Amino acid sequence: MDPASKEILIYEVVAKLTYFTKLYGIESLFIVGGFCRELYYGTVWKSSDIDVASAFHDQAIQLGNLFASEVLNTSPEVYKRSGAAAVNFKSEAGEIRIEFQGHSVNQYMHNQEVRQWMHNQGIEDVPLMNNIYGRDFTINSMIYALDDEKVYDPTGLAVEDLERKIISSLIPSDLLVKYNPLAILRAIRFALTYDFHIDDDMRSAMKAGTDNLCNSVSAERIIKEIVRILKIDAEQGIEMLQKYNMGRMLLVPELKQYLGGGDD
């Protein structure tokens, strides 16, 4: 999909969601994640999907169902494990997925050690804040309030790090990498995509967490992330993978099929 069509599609979704929240007087729905980051940069067409987070317990599926039936005249796909509901929005401009979430869909945010850290920091244990802190990096932590159509920075960290061009974790870097080792590859991908620097704490955690990544995540999942990195910039991608002790994954035979290579 070309950028112009994608941008039209994204704003169609936002308009539908805004209409929905105002029609029913809902003040507890926020667009979270990548959309907010791209809105800040004026590149909303780069958004791959739209995540909508609810501020209240058990409200995500209810509102996802209501939005799907009353606005889109369809039924959502419900994920009971994560408490989320998803629907594909279609228009003449294209198609994009909308997911209604409560707590973070990332399981590490339900870990007791992570929850204890949040408690110690005085971070309120509510679905919206759990969702925000489960977005790995500070640059992903802005939210867009659908009722007043404004962008907020609840952690006070997102705008600062976007301006400084820094990739830093929302929870302590060692906890993030310990419980979500794929964040190693996500950090590399974001750094290459935006030409950002990875902060010292995150770099140290990444170098120490390579074995955890390779031992706890399937080779297929790792390879898919590596391919995404190499498609951004193959030369720099290889250099960064080697820097963070991931060079051995470039030798995996299965990588060829993802890069379009055949058998020798």
Q: Report pLDDT digits (tens) over 57-90.
A: 778 889 999 999 999 999 999 988 888 999 999 9
Higher pLDDT, 205 or 56: 205
The average confidence (pLDDT) of the chain is 92
**CATH number of the CATH domain containing 202:** 1.10.110.30
pLDDT for 36 equals 97
User: What torsion do the CA atoms of 110, 193, 228, 174 make, to the nearest 10 degrees?
Assistant: -30
pLDDT tens readout for residues 29-46: 999 999 999 999 999 999
| Mean pLDDT computed over 163-172 | 98
Q: Which pLDDT band holds residue 264 (cuts at 50, 70, 90)?
A: very low
DSSP code of residue 42: T
CA distance 168 to 104: 18
| Co-location of 202 and 83 in the same domain | no
Asked whether the beta carbons of 53 and 28 are under 8 A apart, the reply is no
Going by C-alpha positions, the residue among 62, 64, 36 that lies closest to residue 49 is 36
pLDDT tens readout for residues 11-24: 999 999 999 999 99
| Global model pTM greater than 0.85 | yes
Amino acid at 61: I
**CATH number of the CATH domain containing 80:** 3.30.460.10
CA distance 207 to 43: 31
| Co-location of 105 and 130 in the same domain | yes
CA distance 191 to 198: 7
